[in-house]
């Protein structure tokens, strides 16, 4: 194996249910110091042909009052305020590194916590849903439970915006076409993630997703949380559901302290960005 260049940049590739991430560890620079990731680096790395490829890039930073902080980017270089599956993946990594079964972290939406369950699955408390139109955000005051859009979606914020459509059969939806149209609807001033869900049994949902800034992905943790909240608010389910996404199954539980999401995580490989790649991006 070639020796790692001293001026390259180490990264990990991880995924949760096929929602895949590049993770860069920028700890050791102080909680007040900005990270090393720029929109240009996120875009270049996110290119599946010329970079590494990912649905989201997660950067670990120092945090005051928590084990670590996490920032997220989409593959188009835009920032994401939340990423549930990356939070579960990085929390698993940090639990292993710290020799613990629970960690606390800070994201753009505030403090979160994660634990490893006895069965090895990782749970994260994604915090309470945002149900005020200004904070989702929406561009004007409307009924969040019945947005004035074709298909009658529900709006839920989980630190990022989501529009959840309940459809008779999620399998037959044109996720790319419909999702892209809704992502850019003027009702969402910061664009939106879009979920299409069907009830397939008691407290059992099937969900497919179009992610803002990325496109179709095999899973979206914050989208699963938003869908579980929307399904309960619409009277379709209780507060605990299982949800089948393209990449597997998540468990959701909307408790008094927030929406808990549980599922598997995978560490795929450790890599090293070459100085040439970094110089071309700078």
Ligand X SMILES: N[C@@H](CCC[C@H](N)C(=O)O)C(=O)O
Q: Which residues within the stretch 9-38 sit at the binding site for ligand X (CB under 6 A)?
A: 19
Candidate residues 77, 84, 258, 264; the one interacting with ligand X per rule CB under 6 A: 84
157 is in an annotated binding site: no
Residue 89 appears among annotated catalytic residues: no
Candidate residues 214, 227, 237, 262; the one interacting with ligand X per rule CB under 6 A: 214
222 is in an annotated binding site: yes
Candidate residues 24, 69, 83, 265; the one interacting with ligand X per rule CB under 6 A: 83
- Mask: binding to ligand X, 170-209, rule CB under 6 A, as x and -? -----------------------x----------------
19 is in an annotated binding site: yes
Residue 83 appears among annotated catalytic residues: yes
- Mask: binding to ligand X, 36-75, rule CB under 6 A, as x and -? -------------------xx-----------------x-
160 is in an annotated binding site: yes
CA nearest neighbour of 262 among 246, 249, 275? 249
Q: Minimal distance in Å, beta carbon 157 to ligand X?
A: 10
Q: Do you find a cis peptide bond into 234, omega within 30 degrees of 0?
A: no
- Determine which one of 220, 241, 261, 265 is catalytic: 220
Q: Is there binding between residue 80 and ligand X (CB under 6 A)?
A: yes
How many alpha carbons lie under 13 Å from residue 85 in its C-beta half-sphere? Answer: 32
For ligand X, how many residues bind (rule: CB under 6 A)?
Answer: 19
Q: Which stretch binds ligand X (CB under 6 A): 78-86, 91-99, 133-141, 247-255?
A: 78-86
Q: Which residues within the stretch 215-254 sit at the binding site for ligand X (CB under 6 A)?
A: 217, 220-222
Q: Are strands 154-157 and 161-166 parallel, antiparallel or unpaired?
A: antiparallel
Q: Minimal distance in Å, beta carbon 140 to ligand X?
A: 21
56 is in an annotated binding site: yes
Binding site for ligand X (CB under 6 A): 19, 55-56, 74, 80, 82-85, 160, 193, 211-214, 217, 220-222
Q: Which parts are annotated binding residues? A: 19, 56, 74, 84-85, 160, 193, 211-212, 221-222
List active site positions. 83, 220
């Amino acid at each position: 194996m070639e020796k790692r260049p001293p001026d390259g940049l180490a990264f990990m590739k991880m995924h949760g249910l096929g929602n895949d991430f590049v993770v860069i560890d920028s700890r050791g620079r102080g909680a007040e110091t900005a990270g090393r990731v720029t929109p240009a680096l996120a875009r270049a790395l996110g290119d599946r042909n010329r970079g590494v490829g990912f649905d989201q890039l997660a950067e670990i930073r120092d945090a005051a009052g928590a084990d670590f902080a996490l920032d997220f980017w989409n593959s188009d270089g835009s920032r994401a305020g939340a990423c549930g599956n990356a939070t579960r993946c990085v929390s698993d990594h940090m639990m292993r590194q710290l020799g613990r079964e629970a960690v606390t972290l800070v994201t753009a939406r505030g403090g979160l916590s994660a634990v490893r369950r006895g069965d090895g699955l990782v749970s994260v408390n994604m915090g309470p849903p945002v149900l005020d139109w200004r904070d989702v955000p929406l561009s004007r005051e409307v009924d969040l439970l019945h947005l004035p859009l074709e298909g009658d979606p529900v709006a839920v914020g989980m630190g990022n915006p989501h529009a959840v459509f309940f459809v008779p059969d999620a399998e037959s939806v044109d996720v790319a076409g419909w999702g892209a149209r809704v992502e850019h609807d003027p009702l969402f001033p910061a664009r939106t993630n879009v979920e299409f869900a069907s009830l397939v049994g008691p407290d059992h949902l099937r969900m497919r997703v179009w992610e803002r800034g990325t496109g179709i992905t095999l899973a979206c943790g914050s989208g699963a949380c938003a869908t579980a909240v929307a399904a309960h608010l619409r009277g379709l389910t209780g507060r605990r559901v299982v949800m089948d996404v393209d990449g597997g199954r998540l468990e959701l539980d909307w408790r008094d302290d927030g929406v808990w999401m549980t599922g598997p995580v995978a560490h795929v490989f450790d890599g090293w960005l070459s100085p040439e790649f970094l110089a071309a991006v700078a």
